[in-house]
A and B are shown apart, each in its own frame.
Chain A
């Protein structure tokens, strides 16, 4: 965890950097949080800083602790150890009802006995905002989520996507410093989910609030986030921009969880520091990749090459490794080719249909090549 924080600066690309209004102070600061449920430790030494105006995702498989972390930020759970700062104020002792956060729940959790407007107005009524102001703000919130035409409807007359919009409006109308979204698109079908992804990104740009988004869907996290924290078994493994995490994973778990990769398991031939080229002995051949972590001679590692970075050459002698094509799948925009190596390992290459790979035939001997800059050496 600590090491992760150290590496991330090495790779951080500024392409999708958040439009931070005050770059100095983070909006949310989670510091050394541990959480136990009885005998189970569900969060392990979590420390992370989330910038003002950032779209930040907590990504991980179910049971990795991402929802618990979000519920701790919201005030529904309490950390066993550690502190939470929101806008530089500790909120550990502040109940959920008085935190400057609002949440969009996985199953919407709308009030079934109230109209859309009453649902949205609830938070403002709790704050004793004057009635006329509430009416205006509710109207604005309805416009923000494009539900103006549905005003006055009952909750159970709405579709899943519309309910989701009401849930978002109900949270955002309070102008929270941080909006927490707990797998808000999980209950929607694929088409609607893609549409709502775009909507959420638009709403986030329009309001400029900080969004913390919990999801197990890597594609969702990649397309929407400024930065992503990848979690597994209660730990944050890596924090970075989608590009950092995709191109420079620091853990094998991260590499496997996001995208599709080949892993060549070998031993480090010569030590290398982060981001330096590191020679790895694989089955008698020397492979090269960039070190994701500092590597010492003799360490067992895996050289990671993404499917799309693995090139197949019609002239086998030009490749780093040699194999025979066993399978070819046309996916539409790409062709996916499986190649069996002499040592029995199967590797996969995914290339655009416009490339030469499309001409390779099953059974053909091919050379396997990649650019060393596109290979990452990870602890295996």
Chain B
């Protein structure tokens, strides 16, 4: 070992100019900042995971022992399971509708028309509207129209309203950057506009569509602020979680939080993996 480390020392001295102590300090400072940022981001989550396995009946520290009891209670709680089912179904429906609308919109935006840039920005405005304001606006609108509260009326509309701009934002670049030559080649070979869409455009942007579906699902699955304004008597998982927190601080809350988080993170990761794969594919298309 000794000769090896000596060799190493020798090499570094031979290969680099004399060491600058301030550079070393600076580098360690950077490491420390990164560590601090990660701690700031993940300490609460780590704490939540630890608490979810804590045997204590009072929700919080100190740690008493390891248990899976709280997970069993969450999975055995009928109200929570109903909310979860509602959220899953709602997420799928919102994702499907948002992506279909976003795709239509993105196809429309491939053409050139007056005020295109302005309209493009307009589509994205709902993203920056504060959630509370968005909720109030929806509540007023539904009241005005007289739409009864319900998961598949008011809540679904609210969720599509929330997901659509994001879905458009992720789909638009893929269609906008689509090589027009490929489309023209298909037309040149006798394809109608519908055939060009189904056999050329759709298969090529399919990974992007799937990624957008999953992304929209997580947006809907996590939505709380707008939902609480228009939910009525039913409940989604975030609404149920909120109710549990405010009504009776239950010891299984951390476990419920971990489970909810797990679903969202898992779907996001799958979506990102698909998006990354389709991005490299688009890259290779360009390099032709």
A interface list, Cβ under 8 A from B? 74-76, 95-98, 101-103, 105-113, 122-123, 126-127, 156, 163, 170-171, 174
Q: A8 vs B103: C-alpha distance in the bound complex, in angstroms?
A: 54
Chain A: minimal CB distance from B111 (Å): 15
Residue of B nearest to A155 (CB): B288
A96 touches B281 (CB 8 A): no
- Answer whether A97 and B192 are a contact pair too, CB < 8 Å, given A110-B288, A156-B284, A163-B288: yes
Residues of B within 8 A of A174 (CB): 189-190
Chain B: minimal CB distance from A49 (Å): 23
**Ordered nearest first, which 6 A-B pairs have the shortest CB separation?**
A126-B190, A109-B181, A123-B189, A109-B185, A113-B203, A103-B188
- Answer whether A127 and B190 are a contact pair too, CB < 8 Å, given A110-B288, A111-B200, A113-B203: yes
Interface range for B: 20 to 34
Most chain A CB atoms below 10 A, which of B185, B187, B189, B191: B189
Q: A170 vs B182: C-alpha distance in the bound complex, in angstroms?
A: 13
Residues of B within 8 A of A109 (CB): 179, 181-182, 184-185
Q: A127 vs B190: C-alpha distance in the bound complex, in angstroms?
A: 7
B288 touches A126 (CB 8 A): no
What are 10 A-B contacts defined by CB distance under 8 Å? A95-B187, A96-B184, A96-B187, A98-B190, A109-B179, A111-B185, A112-B281, A126-B189, A163-B288, A174-B189
Q: A109 vs B195: C-alpha distance in the bound complex, in angstroms?
A: 17
Residues of B within 8 A of A75 (CB): 188
Q: A76 vs B189: C-alpha distance in the bound complex, in angstroms?
A: 12
B288 touches A122 (CB 8 A): no
A97 touches B285 (CB 8 A): no
A112 touches B189 (CB 8 A): no
B interface list, Cβ under 8 A from A? 179, 181-182, 184-192, 195, 200, 203-204, 281, 284-285, 288
Most chain B CB atoms below 10 A, which of A74, A107, A109: A109
Residues of B within 8 A of A123 (CB): 189-190
Residues of B within 8 A of A113 (CB): 203-204
Residues of A within 8 A of B188 (CB): 74-76, 96-97, 101-103, 171
Residue of B nearest to A118 (CB): B199
Q: A95 vs B181: C-alpha distance in the bound complex, in angstroms?
A: 16
B181 touches A105 (CB 8 A): yes
A112 touches B192 (CB 8 A): no
Q: A110 vs B203: C-alpha distance in the bound complex, in angstroms?
A: 14
A112 touches B190 (CB 8 A): no
Q: A293 vs B200: C-alpha distance in the bound complex, in angstroms?
A: 52
Q: A113 vs B208: C-alpha distance in the bound complex, in angstroms?
A: 14
Residues of A within 8 A of B186 (CB): 111, 122
A76 touches B184 (CB 8 A): yes
A97 touches B191 (CB 8 A): yes
Q: A174 vs B185: C-alpha distance in the bound complex, in angstroms?
A: 13
Chain A: minimal CB distance from B152 (Å): 36
A103 touches B195 (CB 8 A): no
A170 touches B189 (CB 8 A): yes
A122 touches B181 (CB 8 A): no
Most chain A CB atoms below 10 A, which of B190, B195, B203, B204: B190
Chain A: minimal CB distance from B109 (Å): 21
Chain B: minimal CB distance from A234 (Å): 22
One of B182, B190, B195 near A111 (C-beta < 8 A): B182
Residue of A nearest to B179 (CB): A109
Q: Can you add 9 more A-B contacts, CB < 8 Å, to A96-B188, A163-B288?
A: A74-B188, A75-B188, A76-B184, A97-B187, A109-B184, A123-B190, A126-B189, A126-B190, A127-B190
Q: A74 vs B185: C-alpha distance in the bound complex, in angstroms?
A: 11
Residues of B within 8 A of A95 (CB): 187
Residues of B within 8 A of A103 (CB): 184-185, 188
Q: A102 vs B188: C-alpha distance in the bound complex, in angstroms?
A: 6
Residue of A nearest to B193 (CB): A97
Q: A75 vs B186: C-alpha distance in the bound complex, in angstroms?
A: 13
B184 touches A126 (CB 8 A): no
- Answer whether A112 and B187 are a contact pair too, CB < 8 Å, given A105-B181, A126-B195: no
Residues of B within 8 A of A76 (CB): 184, 187-188
Chain B: minimal CB distance from A176 (Å): 9
Residues of B within 8 A of A126 (CB): 189-191, 195
A107 touches B288 (CB 8 A): yes
Chain B: minimal CB distance from A345 (Å): 47
Residues of A within 8 A of B204 (CB): 111-113
Residues of B within 8 A of A112 (CB): 182, 204, 281, 284-285, 288
Residues of B within 8 A of A107 (CB): 179, 181, 288
Residues of B within 8 A of A111 (CB): 182, 185-186, 200, 204
Q: A163 vs B287: C-alpha distance in the bound complex, in angstroms?
A: 12
Residues of B within 8 A of A127 (CB): 190
Q: A122 vs B191: C-alpha distance in the bound complex, in angstroms?
A: 9
One of A97, A101, A102, A108 near B288 (C-beta < 8 A): A108
Residues of B within 8 A of A106 (CB): 181
Q: A102 vs B184: C-alpha distance in the bound complex, in angstroms?
A: 11
Q: A238 vs B109: C-alpha distance in the bound complex, in angstroms?
A: 42
Most chain B CB atoms below 10 A, which of A105, A113, A163: A113
Q: A109 vs B180: C-alpha distance in the bound complex, in angstroms?
A: 8
B189 touches A122 (CB 8 A): yes
Residue of B nearest to A174 (CB): B189
Most chain A CB atoms below 10 A, which of B181, B186, B288: B288
Residues of B within 8 A of A108 (CB): 288
Residues of A within 8 A of B189 (CB): 97, 102, 122-123, 126, 170-171, 174
Q: A113 vs B184: C-alpha distance in the bound complex, in angstroms?
A: 16
Residue of A nearest to B183 (CB): A109
